[in-house]
Amino acid sequence: MITAEELEERLLAAPFHRWLGLRVLSVSPEELRLGATWRPEWENGTTERVTHGGILATLLDLAADWALVASLGDPAPTIDFTTHFLRAAPPGDLVVVARPVKLGRSLTVAEAEVLSEAGKQIAVGRGTYATFAPSVTGPAS
């Protein structure tokens, strides 16, 4: 089983993930918990100062995919992802909880939820991922 430290090291290899302020709070094959450090650039530009929906959708898809890393060992390309926004996210750090729903040979389903600092559910999502990612090779000879 992959440890939280190992998963975080792999996760933070991507500059975008570092910019999101991600950290692995806990990991098991059944559930991944990520923390995301809020930053002013997340605001959607309204007077209410709420977090942009694109950030929330990104956190959901990212956490669901990395929950698959905890279960299967590798991330899988997203085929489809559906997001439901339940309430506005005020400024503040977020927690994202993700779980595999069905692990398949070619398609896998995972879900995630974003929680506010107060523990309120902000958004939920469910995605389908390709678990047999084709290898990428150079041009044909």
How far is 126 from 141, CA to CA, in rounded Å? 40
Helix (H, G, I), strand (E, B) or coil at 98: strand
Matching residue, tokens 């098991």: 28
Q: What are phi and psi of 67, to 5 degrees?
A: -65, -30
Per-residue pLDDT of 52-88, as tens digits, reads: 999 999 999 999 999 999 998 888 999 999 999 999 9
**Domains and their CATH numbers in the chain:** 4-130 (3.10.129.10)
User: Length of the chain in residues, anyone?
Assistant: 141
Q: Which residues contact 138 (CB under 8 A, 6 or more apart)?
A: none
Average pLDDT over residues 128-141: 64
Residue type, 80: D
pTM for this entry: 0.90
How far is 109 from 66, CA to CA, in rounded Å? 12
Per-residue pLDDT of 6-61, as tens digits, reads: 999 999 999 999 999 999 999 999 999 999 999 999 999 988 899 999 999 999 99
Q: SS3 sequence, 43-90?
A: ECCCCCCCECHHHHHHHHHHHHHHHHHHHHCCCCCEEEEEEEECCCCC
Phi-psi region of 28 (alpha: psi -120 to 50; beta: other; left: phi over 0): beta
- The pairing of beta strand 32-36 with beta strand 94-102: antiparallel
